[in-house]
Amino acid sequence: MELRYRLRNVANHCSIYVSLDELASILYCSTRNVKRILSNMQEDGLIYWKPGGGRGHRSKLLFRCSLEEALTTHIDALLHRGAFKEAIRWLKREGIPARVRERCYREVLAALSFPRIHVREVEGLDRTWPSGIAPAMVSTNTGRWLFVDGRDGDNRK
């Protein structure tokens, strides 16, 4: 994702020529690791990469998906893993297209919002709870719900 973001001005299916040293500085790793990363990306169908022949020759790189497609997929994966802060950090970066940012923000907000409760489920709730316990709409990132004892705010059941 970092590579696609940093080279966001490169159009889809347009090849560019880059050195392994340039890619290493973009990805903050060694040239040996760059080769492994590019091979994995090519296997996943994200790029086409043809290594330059011999020392000093530049490699050919072609992105098979746009920044928008890559970012949307990446944000979905982050949300699925529960990495909400990282997803928001990506969306706050400069250069992210406005329509993609807006669409992904909606997905983040939907993932962070409370589940919808139908009125039918709420009706009669006061009759089904043990006396003294009031249901509280509290959620954690683990998806667990907390029910707070209505008599003493410090006790949790």
Residues 43 and 89 reside in one and the same domain: no
Q: Average pLDDT in the 119-136 region?
A: 52
Among the listed residues 2, 9, 69, 12, the one whose alpha carbon sits nearest the alpha carbon of residue 38: 2
18, 34: one domain: yes
Determine, yes or no, domain membership for 155.
Answer: no
- Report residue 30's pLDDT band, with 50, 70 and 90 as the boundaries: very high
Q: Which of 24, 43, 63 is the last residue of a domain?
A: 63
Name the percent of the chain lying above pLDDT 90.
18
Ranges 31-40, 81-90, 142-151: which has the least confidence: 142-151
27 with 72, same domain: the answer is: no
DSSP state at residue 30 = -
Within this chain, do residues 27 and 13 fall inside the same structural domain, yes or no? Answer: yes
Which residue has 């919002």 as its token pair?
A: 113
What residue numbers bound the domain in which 73 lies?
67-112
Residue range 126-145: mean pLDDT, rounded: 53
| pLDDT for the residue 108 | 86
Q: 59 and 76: one domain?
A: no
Question: What's the rounded mean pLDDT across residues 61-84?
Answer: 89
Residues 14 and 54 in one domain: yes
Helices 84-91 and 98-112 sit at what angle, rounded to 10 degrees? Answer: 160
Q: Which residues contact 146 (CB under 8 A, 6 or more apart)?
A: 136, 138, 140, 156
Most confident residue range from 50-64, 75-89, 134-148: 75-89
Q: Pick the residue with more confidence: 111 or 155?
A: 111
Q: What six digits make up the tokens of 20?
A: 């392994």
17 inside domain:
yes
pTM given for the model: 0.62
55 and 7 share one domain: yes
User: Does 23 reside within a domain?
Assistant: yes
Local confidence band at 144 (pLDDT 50, 70, 90 cut-offs): low
* Helix boundaries (H) for the chain: 2-6, 20-27, 31-43, 67-81, 84-91, 98-112, 119-122, 125-128
- In a domain, residue 125? The reply is yes
Q: Is residue 157 part of a domain?
A: no
Position 143 scores a pLDDT of: 55
Q: Are residues 30 and 42 in the same domain?
A: yes
Judge whether 154 lies within some domain.
Answer: no
Q: Is residue 156 part of a domain?
A: no
Domains contained in the chain, number: 3
